[in-house]
C-alpha cells in the first residue's frame, strides 16, 4: 500500500499564520502515522507555494521588490516556518518552477485538444483577494466580496473557458459511485447539491494578468491561477520516481477551497484522461478568541512564535486537540497555556519522569521485560481507527486518557512503597507502567513527534532504562 498526502499550496503574499499551520500539521500527522505503518518509502507528503497570483504581484510591488526576488524570499520563509514547526514534507513545490510549468502546459493543451477549452469573452466580476470570478449573488448587501470586504473588479476581456458544464452528470455519477470520496459528509452534501444546482463553464485564462504561466496556444494570455495551482499535486510527481503515488493521492484542504478541489479539479482530470484522486478532506475553520483572524484586527497568530514558546509539539497538540478535524472551532493562547501545563507538562511529561525516576531508584534502572501493556492490541486498534478515520482530536483525547489511566495506576498502587516491602509485586506494577510508556511512545511518533525520540531514550535499551528527562517545562 502507498499513501500520498497533499496540503493546499499557500499564497505567499504574507507569512504563514496559525490557520495555514493547522492544515499543514494535520496533514503531517497523517503522513507520520502512515510512515510508521507502511515504511517511509511508501508515503509521500507534498506541500508548497502558490505563486502565480495577482496577490503576490501586488505584495511584491508594495514591498518595492522585483517579483522574482520577492517570491524567492517568501517561499524560503514558508519553507523555514514549516521546518521550524516540524513539518516532515517530502517535497515542496513552487508553481514558478519549470517542472510545474511543463505539466501545466501539457494538461492545458490536452484539455484544449479535447475541445473542453474554448475562447470567449468574460464580462463580470473578479475578486483578487479570492483570486476568483464572482456572481452578483455571491456579494453582500454592499456589493462587497463577503470574505474580503471590498468591491470586486469589473472585468471585460477575452478569456478561455473550461467546459465545466459538460461534466455535471459525470461528476454526480462519480460522487454516487464514491460516496466516501469527500469527507466529512457535510462537505460532500454541500458539493453534491452545488453540482446539482447546475454548473457553468469557468474562465481559465486572464488576458490582463501581469504574471503567471502563458497559455501554450496563445502566449498573450496567462493561465488562471487556480487552474494552474490545482495541477501542482500532479506536476510534483509526474515524470519522477514518485509517479506511482498518483494513484494514492488524498487532498487535505480547508472548507473554503472545496469547490475548486472537488468540482473543478476532478472535471479537469476527467477531461485530461488522468485518474482521479483517492479522496479529499475539507477541514473546518477556527477563530481566535471567538473572532475571525485578520490582519486589520491584529489578532493573527504566528505558528513559529507559538512553537518557540511551547515547542512544536505544544503547538500541534494544542491546535489539533482543540476541536475535531472537519468541524469549525476556536483557539486561544490562554487555552493553549492551560493545555500545555495540564496535559503535556503535568500529564505525559510528569508520568514519564516519575516512572523512570522510580525505576532508577528502586529497580537499579532495570527496564521491565515486556513489550507493551496488557491490552495493547485492543488499545492500538482503537488508536488506529481514530487516526484512519481522521479523528485527530479523538486520537489526542485517547492519548491523554491513556496517560491518565497510567498516572492513576501509579498513584493507586503506590509502587514506591510496595518496592520497599515486596519487590516481586512492585516488578509487576512497574512492568505494567512501562508497558504504558511504550504504548504512549508508539502513539507519540504520530502525535508528539518532537518528544517521541526523547521518550524512546527514556525507555532505554539492553535491559536498562535511560535518564529521566523533563519533556515539557512548565510555563
Ligand atoms: O487558498 N482556520 O491559499 P491560502 C483553518 N493558494 N484553516 C485555515 C484558516 C483558519 N482560520 N485560515 C486559512 C489558497 N486556513 C490557495 C490554495 S491549492 C491548489 C491553492 C488554511 O494561502 C485552510 O487550509 O489562502 C485553507 O484552505 C488554506 O489555509 C488557504 O490558504
Task: Catalogue the long-range contacts made by 309-312 (C-beta closer than 8 Å, 24 or more residues apart).
Answer: 309/475, 310/336, 310/340, 310/475, 311/450, 311/451, 311/472, 312/84, 312/85, 312/86, 312/449, 312/450
User: How confident is the model at residue 376, as a pLDDT?
Assistant: 78
Give the chain's domains with CATH numbers: 3-284 (3.40.50.620), 303-459 (1.10.730.10)
Between the two ends of the chain, the Cα-to-Cα distance in Å is: 42
CA–CA–CA angle 390, 394, 395 (5° rounding): 75
Find out whether 346 and 470 touch, Cβ atoms under 8 Å.
no
Instruction: Report the C-alpha gap between 263 and 247 in whole angstroms.
Output: 19
Check if 11 has its Cβ closer than 6 Å to any atom of ligand 1: yes
User: How confident is the model at residue 374, as a pLDDT?
Assistant: 63
Mean pLDDT of the region 46-71: 96
Task: Catalogue the long-range contacts made by 143-147 (C-beta closer than 8 Å, 24 or more residues apart).
Answer: 147/256
Distance 288 CA to ligand 1 centre (A): 16
Q: Over the stretch 165-222, which tens digit does the pLDDT of each residue have?
A: 999 999 999 999 999 999 999 999 999 999 999 999 999 999 988 899 999 999 999 9
Instruction: Report the C-alpha gap between 457 and 374 in whole angstroms.
Output: 22
- Mean residue pLDDT of the chain comes to 96
Residue 255 alpha carbon, nearest atom of ligand 1: 27
Closest CA to 215 of 270, 159, 273: 159
Q: Which three cell numbers stand for residue 271?
A: 477531461
Distance 285 CA to ligand 1 centre (A): 9
Distance 380 CA to ligand 1 centre (A): 33
Mean pLDDT of the region 352-357: 98
Closest CA to 222 of 334, 134, 104: 104
Q: Which three cell numbers stand for residue 300?
A: 493573527
Catalytic residues: 17, 20, 127, 130, 145, 148, 292, 295
Check if 249 has its Cβ closer than 6 Å to any atom of ligand 1: no
Residue 225's SS3 state is helix
Distance 94 CA to ligand 1 centre (A): 16
Check if 286 has its Cβ closer than 6 Å to any atom of ligand 1: yes
Residue 292 alpha carbon, nearest atom of ligand 1: 11
In this model, does residue 373 exceed pLDDT 80? Answer: no
Find out whether 379 and 402 touch, Cβ atoms under 8 Å.
yes
Q: pTM for this structure?
A: 0.96
In this model, does residue 371 exceed pLDDT 60? Answer: no
Q: Which residue's CA is the nearest one to ligand 1's atom 3?
A: 10
Q: Over the stretch 76-103, which tens digit does the pLDDT of each residue have?
A: 999 999 999 999 999 999 999 999 999 9
Residue 252 alpha carbon, nearest atom of ligand 1: 24
In this model, does residue 316 exceed pLDDT 80? Answer: yes
Amino acid at each position: 500500500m502507498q499513501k500520498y498526502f497533499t496540503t493546499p499550496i499557500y499564497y505567499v503574499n504574507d507569512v504563514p499564520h496559525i490557520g495555514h499551520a493547522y492544515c499543514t500539521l494535520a496533514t503531517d500527522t497523517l503522513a507520520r502515522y502512515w510512515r510508521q505503518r507502511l515504511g517511509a518509502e511508501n508515503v509521500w507528503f507534498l506541500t508548497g507555494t502558490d505563486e502565480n497570483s495577482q496577490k503576490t504581484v501586488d505584495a511584491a510591488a508594495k514591498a518595492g521588490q522585483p517579483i522574482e526576488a520577492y517570491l524567492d524570499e517568501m517561499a524560503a520563509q514558508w519553507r523555514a516556518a514549516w521546518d521550524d514547526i516540524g513539518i516532515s514534507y517530502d517535497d515542496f513545490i513552487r508553481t514558478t518552477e519549470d517542472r510545474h510549468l511543463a505539466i501545466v502546459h501539457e494538461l492545458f493543451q490536452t484539455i484544449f485538444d479535447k475541445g473542453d477549452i474554448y475562447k470567449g469573452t468574460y464580462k463580470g466580476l473578479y475578486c483578487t483577494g479570492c483570486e476568483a470570478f464572482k456572481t452578483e449573488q455571491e456579494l453582500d448587501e454592499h456589493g462587497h466580496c463577503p470574505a474580503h470586504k471590498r468591491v470586486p473588479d469589473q472585468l471585460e476581456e477575452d478569456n478561455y473557458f473550461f467546459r465545466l458544464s459538460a461534466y455535471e452528470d459525470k461528476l454526480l455519477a462519480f460522487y454516487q459511485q464514491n460516496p466516501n470520496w469527500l469527507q466529512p459528509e457535510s462537505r460532500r452534501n454541500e458539493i453534491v447539491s452545488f453540482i446539482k444546482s447546475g454548473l457553468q463553464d469557468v474562465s481559465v485564462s486572464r488576458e490582463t494578468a501581469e504574471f503567471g504561466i502563458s497559455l501554450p496556444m496563445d502566449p498573450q494570455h496567462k493561465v488562471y491561477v487556480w487552474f494552474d495551482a490545482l495541477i501542482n499535486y500532479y506536476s510534483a510527481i509526474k515524470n519522477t520516481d514518485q509517479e506511482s503515488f498518483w494513484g494514492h493521492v488524498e487532498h487535505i484542504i480547508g472548507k473554503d477551497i472545496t469547490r475548486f478541489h472537488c468540482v473543478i479539479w476532478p472535471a479537469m482530470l476527467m477531461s485530461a484522461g488522468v485518474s482521479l484522486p483517492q479522496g479529499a478532506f475539507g477541514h473546518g475553520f477556527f477563530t481566535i478568541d471567538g473572532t475571525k483572524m485578520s490582519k486589520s484586527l491584529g489578532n493573527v497568530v504566528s505558528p513559529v512564535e507559538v512553537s518557540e514558546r511551547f515547542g512544536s509539539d505544544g503547538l500541534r497538540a494544542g491546535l489539533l486537540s482543540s476541536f475535531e478535524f472537519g468541524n469549525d472551532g476556536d483557539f486561544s493562547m490562554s487555552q493553549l497555556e492551560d493545555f500545555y501545563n495540564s496535559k503535556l507538562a503535568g500529564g505525559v511529561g510528569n508520568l514519564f519522569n516519575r516512572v523512570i525516576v522510580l525505576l532508577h531508584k528502586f529497580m537499579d534502572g532495570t527496564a521491565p521485560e515486556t513489550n507493551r501493556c496488557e491490552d495493547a492490541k485492543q488499545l492500538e486498534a482503537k488508536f488506529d481507527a481514530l487516526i484512519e478515520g481522521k479523528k485527530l482530536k479523538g486520537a489526542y483525547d485517547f492519548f491523554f486518557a491513556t496517560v491518565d489511566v497510567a498516572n492513576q495506576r501509579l498513584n493507586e498502587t503506590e509502587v514506591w512503597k510496595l518496592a520497599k516491602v515486596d519487590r516481586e509485586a512492585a516488578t509487576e506494577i512497574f512492568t505494567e507502567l512501562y508497558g504504558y510508556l511504550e504504548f504512549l511512545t508508539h502513539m507519540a511518533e504520530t502525535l508528539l513527534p518532537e518528544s517521541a525520540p526523547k521518550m524512546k531514550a527514556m525507555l532505554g535499551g539492553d535491559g536498562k532504562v535511560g535518564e529521566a528527562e523533563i519533556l515539557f517545562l512548565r510555563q
